[in-house]
Amino acid sequence: AQRVTQPEKLLSVFKGAPVELKCNYSYSGSPELFWYVQYSRQRLQLLLRHISRESIKGFTADLNKGETSFHLKKPFAQEEDSAMYYCALVTSGTYKYIFGTGTRLKVLA
């Protein structure tokens, strides 16, 4: 069965430190992977998707099919990055998002 695993419920880092939010998936086909972010009291919003290979707000994520991972990285964390981050998988040709349980990132001053 398809599954997304985010092993850390909470990640605390100091401002300016590097950040890596882990995401592993289980799917034998060609996945489409996303990172969504939810700031306090706001709705889920798309941060980035692996297809576009963009860098948004300094975040990047590379799909590693060998390790079935899609970790989210940022070299220098900012306080405004504090939020809930969800990794999501869409299997090819479908519309159902399969979400991980989320990681709360706290960036400390």
Give the residues lining the site for other proteins (CB under 8 A).
4, 6, 34, 36, 42-46, 49, 86, 90, 93-102
Nearest to 26, CA basis, from 7, 51, 8, 5: 5
- Toward other proteins, which CB reaches closer, 6 or 68? 6
Cβ-count burial of 33 within 10 angstroms (0-12 exposed, 13-18 middle, 19+ buried)? buried
Shortest separation between residue 16's beta carbon and other proteins, angstroms: 30
Task: Report in angstroms how near the CB of residue 33 gets to other proteins at its nearest.
Answer: 12
Residue 15 vs 84, nearer CB to other proteins: 84
Residue 60: helix, strand or coil by DSSP?
strand
